[in-house]
Chain A
Amino acid sequence: MIKFGSNYASKIQHLYSNKPFSFAIIGSGPAGLYTAKHLFNDIENINIHIFEQDLCPTGLIRYGMAPDHQRIKRVAEELLTIKQNEHCHYFGGVSIGKDIAINELDQLYSAVFYAYGAQIDKPLNIQGEQLQNVYSARQIVNWYNSHPNYYDLDINFKNKNNIAIIGNGNVALDIARIFGLNQDELQKTDINEISIEKLKNNQINNIIIIGRRGLVQSQFSLKELREMTKLSQFRFLLYKPDLLWSLNEESQTECKDLGVNYGNVTRGNRRKLEFMKSFEIIEDEATMNSILQQDSNGRINVILRFLLTPLEIEKKEDRLNLKLQHNQLAGKPFNQVAMPLNQQSILECDMIIKSVGYQSHNIDNDLPWNSEQNIVDNSDGCIKKDPTKLKTGSYACGWIKTGPKGVIDSTFASSQETIVNFKNHMDADLIRNVHDPYEQVVNLLRQRSINYIDFKVWDRINEFEIEQGQKAKKPRIKLIRNRDLLQFL
């Protein structure tokens, strides 16, 4: 069937097409907004209410993506075009599970979409995790992204020469890069003045990024790596023993061109390995120690370490000793695990950042939970009532559905899948009609004395931030305190 320039998804014509549906979406990050946008595109006569725990919408777009990654942050504008729809309402500053129970949402709406992502840290569960100068990546990222709960993080860079980052995903690279940007570079971003001041004149010599498995299994993408190598202040280094241990036969297989069944996994590995072969190599322990103890002369050494598991953190005067277990790889290609060797070492450093992943928590006892994977219990986005039955009317999109991994593309794809399955439920008449519960929700929040912001207030905040930014030649200047944001009510 050939169409001429028309929307591919013809809107669902219901038997009851003059009866309305009302949907609640929990979370206003990429998953929630994408879901809202596509539900409006695909289904007629619906109301969508978006609940967000923070005052400001867009989730990780505002508080996760790095301040110097403004291009990808533009996705927020496209996703927020939903606010032009008079049947779309935003409630910013409302915590579902605390302010409104999910049972209440089930009563008020035809369907509820959980898209609230991951709000806590995956713990390392090692001694010393709570010591001063040990942070989670999430704290650091929220700090430099001006989140109201983190902008005043107790952090300083005085005499912090060596910083260890445990975990080698893109977040680890983001943090290393932001720490290493010079003041001019930082001033061009939307990072706040407090962070800029703290980072000023820092004397970071080495940032050691530590991965549990080998080089080929590293989680950062070549895109982010390549971008960072273009910044002249960074000098990337590999450690020869790590390289040798990393390139076992199975890891080499993970880089081979194995045809279409392995998709783009080997292609990504292969290209990343090829690129990293151009990095300088630290030959031995003596050279490594010398680098870690010397001044780096204005540059920052980004030392990528592999096959190390953190065992314990000890305070040593005003420094930290990170005790590390050495590993080797074992298992079949694409399923290799880190096996401990009978070898340990100690990395002396001044700050440790745990970047081993975010984690979701259950916001309400009535929300079916998969405690093994720490996600909502679901089957392809359809939330399960129990192992054999679906809780029709409840759906999951984004990280709360799949776990906290992946960039915006996979978030969109996961939401797409959920929407398709949801539409199948609508076609099977499993979703009940509900008239717009807007007045009821507003009254409920008023009774519970919950101050929230809506899209109109957000528009004023957004306009103000951009205006302030323009004066200072920045993309925006974020308001950082909740009370400053609430002033716009």
Chain B
Amino acid sequence: MIRLFSKYGASSSKMVTFYFKNKDNSLTKVTSPIGQNLLQIAHKNEVDLEGACEQSLACSTCHVILPKQLYDKLPQPVPEEEDLLDLAYGLTETSRLGCQVKVDEKFENVIIQLPKATRNFYVDGHKPKPH
């Protein structure tokens, strides 16, 4: 019998593999047991997702963008999460707070996008001329 060992110590919980698209457009592949939330998974894999209020629905810093297909399949956010999404930088129609979204099989191979923090992010490596 093959045992699956993961970073989380569980020896046979069901795992799911997906990707975070970082602010610089690079992808980070992650594998997680089902049931963890996106913020927990990001932190375990050193993905740069802030979680200022430590998963207590008091900020919007763990804002992530889901693919539409996945977003539509998930249960509706509670009003308190929607209130915080109202305040999130760069809100989209498929935005969620990472700490409120637990992964399952539906997440296999999806790409979860971290929102660009600012308008001035030079993603193409462009460097402004020194003044």
Contact = CB atoms under 8 A, between A and B. Distances in A.
Pair from one complex = yes
Contacts of A223: 80, 83-84, 86-87
B28 A3 contact: yes
A78 interface: yes
A16 interface: no
Range of interface residues on chain A?
35 or more
B83 A271 contact: yes
Interface stretch (A106-114, A128-136, A248-256, A412-420): A412-420
A416 B45 CA distance: 21
Given A417-B117, A420-B121, A221 B61 contact: no
Interface string A69-80: 101101100100
Interface string A367-398: 00000000000001010000011101000000
Contact of A8 (B47, B52, B93): B47
A9 B128 CA distance: 20
B30 A5 contact: yes
Interface stretch (B19-27, B69-77, B101-109): B19-27
Contact of A75 (B52, B86, B117, B131): B52
Contacts of B91: 263-264, 267
A425 interface: yes
A8 B24 contact: yes
A263 B86 contact: no
B24 A409 contact: no
Contacts of A69: 58
A228 to B, nearest CB: 12
A443 B64 CA distance: 47
B89 A409 contact: yes
Contacts of B23: 8
Contacts, number: 135
A244 interface: no
Given A5-B45, A72-B58, A424-B127, A267 B86 contact: yes
Contact of B59 (A4, A8, A75, A268): A75
B28 A4 contact: yes
A430 B129 CA distance: 11
A487 interface: no
A408 interface: yes
Nearest to A421: B120
B53 interface: yes
Interface string A208-226: 0000000000000111001
30 contacts: A2-B27, A8-B24, A8-B26, A8-B47, A71-B54, A71-B56, A71-B57, A71-B58, A72-B53, A72-B59, A75-B53, A223-B80, A223-B84, A223-B87, A264-B88, A268-B87, A388-B131, A390-B131, A409-B60, A409-B88, A410-B89, A413-B117, A413-B118, A416-B117, A417-B117, A420-B122, A424-B128, A427-B127, A428-B130, A430-B130
Given A3-B28, A9-B48, A414-B118, 8 more contacts: A1-B26, A1-B27, A8-B24, A71-B53, A223-B87, A264-B86, A409-B61, A424-B122
| Top 10 closest pairs, chain A to chain B, by CB | A264-B91, A417-B118, A268-B86, A71-B56, A223-B83, A75-B52, A8-B22, A416-B117, A72-B58, A390-B131
